Amino acid sequence: MVCQTVRSRLLSENPLDTIDSDDDEPIEPLTLPLDAWHREQGARMVPFAGYLMPVQYEGIIAEHLWTRDSAGLFDVSHMGQLFLSGDGLEAAVEAVLPIDLSTLKLGAVRYSLLLDDNGGILDDLMVSRWRDGLYVVVNGATKWDDIGHLREYLPDEITINHLDDRALLALQGPRAHYALSRLVTGDYPLEALTFMKGGRFMLGDADVWISRSGYTGEDGFEISLPAENASEIATLIAAEPEVKPIGLGARDSLRLEAGLPLYGHDLSPETDPISADLAFGINKRRRKEGGFPGADVILPLFASGASTKRIGLTLEGRAAAREGAKVFSGDHEVGIITSGGFSPSLAQPIAMAYISAEHAADGTALEIDVRGKRLPAAVAPMPFIPHRYVR
């Protein structure tokens, strides 16, 4: 497991803040399988989550708007890809995650949470049913802690394979399916996949797993593939007329518009699923039966409600509020910004914050302290931009 100081550093990084940062990186970052490919495409590389990653190619706003209108190709190979298998897998995983595996069908994908005994969020993750086990994707900045946690809390009969010989790409946007459907072959057409469904396909010379999912609020796909084929596949996809490579900067602004939380910023061990508006990550049967870490703390909150809520904010003017800015109602501090930036789609600043529940109603007028100046803001429903998933 990474030491706490390293873990804190990884969790504190924000690709949008990194653009203007001259801080020296205390640890030599690793390189992705596509490192040379990104440089050939003109990417600006920055340290993020322990890796050198592309923050932008032609510019964050241009890349953001291209993804909203067409299709963007993201390299997310820093994420942790795990495969769990063994006797008693279902019961063992349900003792660690608040997931109902009895309803997770072959090829299905489900969002879940890794929780501590106090109900705090250690990570958010995706679980897919493969024929011979469970495929799990965890956040890049927390993957070593997650692997250590799972090894500690899962019984010895469960095998945890870290699929570090695989890359992970995401193709996102309203025209993603047009581009990808020309390139894949399989037992059924790509269009047969709906949101949070996956399957195996051939892409180029590679046997790949494709799920219809993503982190932008747009329709799109995530593609797990052998790392040795990453350059070939990235070149193949990027050659389609709808597709351009997109960096971390636009990925962050896209997910913010989509109201999707980022671990280490909007989620942490100090936040619980109810405050974070992630109750859907605790499946119906588990709400009734419990039996997962933190259940004694979390389950009563379904009835009583949480004292704080993760909410969206729109700001007047052009100045953006960043993480750590305090939120006020009159003279009273009522919350704190956890993510913020300028929305290219809306052409105005937006933010996420945790604020006291009594001030969380849509339309509530608040103020944000940005470098000593109070900026008017209002609570806004999330997502800021409607999701366009294909269900």
Contact present, 186 and 178 (Cβ < 8 Å)? no
**Domain spanning 4-72+165-257: CATH 3.40.50.10800:** no
3-state per-residue secondary structure call for the chain? CCCHHHHHHHHHCCHHHHCCCCCCCCCCCEECCCHHHHHHCCCEEEEECCEEEEEECCCHHHHHHHHHHCEEEEECCCCEEEEEECCCHHHHHHCCCCCCHHHCCCCEEEEEEEECCCCCEEEEEEEEEECCEEEEEECHHHHHHHHHHHHHHCCCCCEEEECCCEEEEEEECCCHHHHHHCCEECCCCHHHCCCCEEEEEEECCEEEEEECCCCCCCCEEEEEEEHHHHHHHHHHHHCCCCEEECCHHHHHHHHHHCCCCCECCCECCCCCCCCCCCHHHCCHHHHHHCCCCCHHHHHHHHHHCCCEEEEEEEECCCCCCCCCCEEEECCEEEEEEEEEEEECCCCEEEEEEEEEHHHCCCCCEEEEEECCEEEEEEEECCCCCCCCCCC
Handedness of CA 55, 268, 143, 125 (dihedral sign): negative
Can you read off the two tokens belonging to residue 281? Answer: 């990550």
Instruction: Using alpha carbons, list the distances in angstroms from residue 123 to 30, 267, 285, 307.
Output: 22, 8, 21, 21
Q: For residue 26, what pLDDT is reported? A: 59
Q: For residue 27, what pLDDT is reported? A: 74
In the chain, where are the structural domains located?
Answer: 4-72+165-257, 307-391
Can you read off the two tokens belonging to residue 361? Answer: 């109603």
CATH code assigned to 307-391: 2.40.30.110
Q: For residue 92, what pLDDT is reported? A: 98
Peptide bond just before 383 cis, omega within 30 deg:
yes
Q: For residue 19, what pLDDT is reported? A: 37
pLDDT tens by residue, 92-118? 999 999 999 999 999 999 999 999 999
One digit per residue, pLDDT tens: the chain, 391 residues?
223 322 332 333 344 443 333 344 457 899 999 999 999 999 999 999 999 999 999 999 999 999 999 999 999 999 999 999 999 999 999 999 999 999 999 999 999 999 999 999 999 999 999 999 999 999 999 999 999 999 999 999 999 999 999 999 999 999 999 999 999 999 999 999 999 999 999 999 999 999 999 999 999 999 999 999 999 999 999 999 999 999 999 999 999 999 999 999 999 999 999 999 999 999 999 999 999 999 999 999 999 999 999 999 999 999 999 999 999 999 999 999 999 999 999 999 999 999 999 999 999 999 999 999 999 999 999 999 999 999 9
